Amino acid sequence: MKHSYITAAAVGIAALMSTVAYAQEVDFSGKTIELIVPYGEGGGSSVHARLLAPLLEEELPGHPTIIIRNIEGGGSVRGINEFAARAKPDGLTIAALATGTYYSYILGEETVQYPLADFIPFLTSPYGVVSYGLTSFGLTGDPEHDVKYLQENKAVYVGDGPADADMPVLYCFDLLGIKLNGVFGVSRGESRQAFMRGESQVNYDNMASWENELKPMVDDGTMVTLFTMGFQNENGEVVRDPVLPDTATCPELYEIVHGEPMSGVEKEVYENMFAIRMVTAKTLVLPAGTPDDIVQTYQAAIERVVARPELQSPAAQLELGGYPQGTGQVAIDGHRTASVMSPEAKAELDRWLKDVWNID
């Protein structure tokens, strides 16, 4: 009897010791963690990182200081190259990836020196995408009519560029048989202004601007939505975006136009882009080779961050688009799909860039 008491006490002490040991193992007390954001101070990635960093500081063991280091250049290549070259796998350097990081990697740009697939993600933030067009150009909001109308009347599109963040939306337009007159090298904010001035007739935005900027223009009849990229539900199926349940997805329109669902290499490219643009629109990663205990510490911390009341505030929800945040295995799976592309799909993407947009 006495024996079992002692055993129980020993087990109890051992358990206590092990948690103490665990806490000692990963403890960021007095440490400074550098979060590399590969874009400028005002970009979406920077907003996203600055929204999350203070909460992550509080949830990581030892309450470290997180400083955000904006390293711009070459799309996002310079910052992430530096991350890959410099970050030690000790959890003290982390990075924010954005869609551009994936595109530069997949398109095989010469400057890319980072092993994208080896990074260990602990948060993926999805952002929906909606494309829309001007009613004064002749668009009505009836998808069948609008697609046909755009096939027959070439619209002006103002944006970043087909090899940049605009790629998925422009690929969609092409899948629907719509040719556009592209004007490139223009930021999202400026593009929307050009659209409001009527200089472009179709445009797109991510859902963060829906409530404040886009919805009023739909309400007053200036514009109609054309399609969304869709949304991936828990079963992995692409369904309508929860923000805009009345707007068709790109694959739905494809079926209307072609009479059959998207298939083959086109489907593969679409899914890959979907993963990049929607599932991993903003991703936070640890460097390759980070030990499991550190990874688990981050995973647990970010789960608590995502559940924090601050992130449920209307402003934060606007910034996160109201989408469920991907943590744990969801983040790992999403990142894997987004960073690997089959040779066939890559060839199709290269062909598309060359044939439609004359880009090698």
Partner 1 sequence: MDLSALQYALPALLTLVTGPHLLYLIFGVALGMVFGVLPAIGGLAGIALVLPFLFGMDPGPALAMMIGLAAVPATSDTFSSVLIGVPGGAGSAATVIDGFPMSKRGQAARALTAAFFSSLIGGLFGAFVLSFAFVVATPILMAIGFSEQLMLIILALTLVGMLTGRNLAKGLASCCLGLLIGTIGAATATGEQRFAFGTIYLMDGIPLVVVALGAFALPEIMDVLRKRQFIAGDAPLGHGWLQGFRDVIDNIWLVLRCSGVGAVMGMLPGMGGGVVGWVAYAHAVQTAKDKSQFGKGDVRGVIGPESANNAKDGGDLIPTLFLGVPSNGTMALFLVGLTVIGLQPGRAMVTQHQDIVYLIIWSLAIANILGTAISILLARPIAKVTAIPFVLVAPFILVAIFFSAYQSKSDWGDIISLLVVGVVGLFMKRFGWSRAGLLIGLVMSRNLEAALYRTAQVYGLELFLRPLALVILGIAALMLFVTIRAKTRVSSEGDASPELSMPTVNMQFGFLLVLIAFVVAIALDVSDNTFLAKVFPLSVAGLALIFLTIAGIGMVRRSRAPGLIFDADLSDDPETDGSKPLLPFMALMAALPLSIALLGFWLGSVVYLFVFLWLVARKSILYSAINTALLGLFFYVMVDLINARFAPGLLQQLVDLPYPLG
Question: Which of 19-27, 185-193, 228-236, 276-284 is the region at the interface with partner 1 (rule: CB under 8 A)?
Answer: 185-193
Q: Closest distance between partner 1 and the C-beta of residue 47, in Å?
A: 5
The answer to whether the CB of 61 falls within 8 A of the CB of 1 is: no
- Binding of residue 219 to partner 1 (CB under 8 A): no
Helices first, then strands: H and E counts in the chain: 14, 12
- Binding of residue 85 to partner 1 (CB under 8 A): no
Of 285, 313, 304, nearest to 59 by C-alpha is 304
Residues 235-264 that bind partner 1 (CB under 8 A): none
Question: Which of 13-21, 42-50, 267-275, 284-292 is the region at the interface with partner 1 (rule: CB under 8 A)?
Answer: 42-50
- Binding of residue 46 to partner 1 (CB under 8 A): yes
- Binding of residue 311 to partner 1 (CB under 8 A): no
Of 61, 30, 68, 29, nearest to 47 by C-alpha is 68
Q: Give the start-end residues of each E strand in the chain.
A: 32-37, 65-70, 93-98, 120-125, 129-134, 155-158, 180-183, 202-206, 223-228, 231-232, 238-239, 282-286
Q: Closest distance between partner 1 and the C-beta of residue 106, in Å?
A: 16
- Binding of residue 41 to partner 1 (CB under 8 A): yes
The answer to whether the CB of 334 falls within 8 A of the CB of 156 is: no
The answer to whether the CB of 76 falls within 8 A of the CB of 111 is: no
Among 4, 212, 235, 329, binds partner 1 (CB under 8 A): 212
Question: Which of 77-85, 124-132, 136-144, 289-297 is the region at the interface with partner 1 (rule: CB under 8 A)?
Answer: 77-85
Among 22, 137, 149, 184, binds partner 1 (CB under 8 A): 184
The answer to whether the CB of 122 falls within 8 A of the CB of 297 is: no
- Binding of residue 163 to partner 1 (CB under 8 A): yes
Residue 83 DSSP SS3:
helix
**What is the C-alpha separation between 193 and 310, in angstroms, rounded?**
31
Q: Closest distance between partner 1 and the C-beta of residue 93, in Å?
A: 14
Q: How many positions of this chain bind partner 1 (CB under 8 A)?
A: 53
- Binding of residue 196 to partner 1 (CB under 8 A): yes
Q: Which is nearer to partner 1, 27 or 164 (CB)?
A: 164
- Binding of residue 74 to partner 1 (CB under 8 A): yes
The answer to whether the CB of 37 falls within 8 A of the CB of 46 is: yes
Q: Closest distance between partner 1 and the C-beta of residue 89, in Å?
A: 16
Give the orientation angle of helix 167-175 with respect to helix 343-357, to 10 degrees: 80
Q: Which is nearer to partner 1, 200 or 232 (CB)?
A: 200
SS (H, E, C) 5-74: HHHHHHHHHHHHHHHHHHHHHCCCCCCEEEEEECCCCCCHHHHHHHHHHHHHHHHCCCCCEEEEEECCCC
Kind and range of the H or E element at 266? helix 264-274
- Binding of residue 69 to partner 1 (CB under 8 A): yes
Among 200, 290, 297, 339, binds partner 1 (CB under 8 A): 200
Contact residues toward partner 1 (CB under 8 A) are 40-43, 46-47, 50-51, 53-54, 67, 69, 71-74, 77-78, 81, 110-111, 156, 158, 161, 163-164, 181-186, 189-190, 192-194, 196-197, 199-200, 209, 212-213, 216, 310, 313-315, 318-319, 358-359
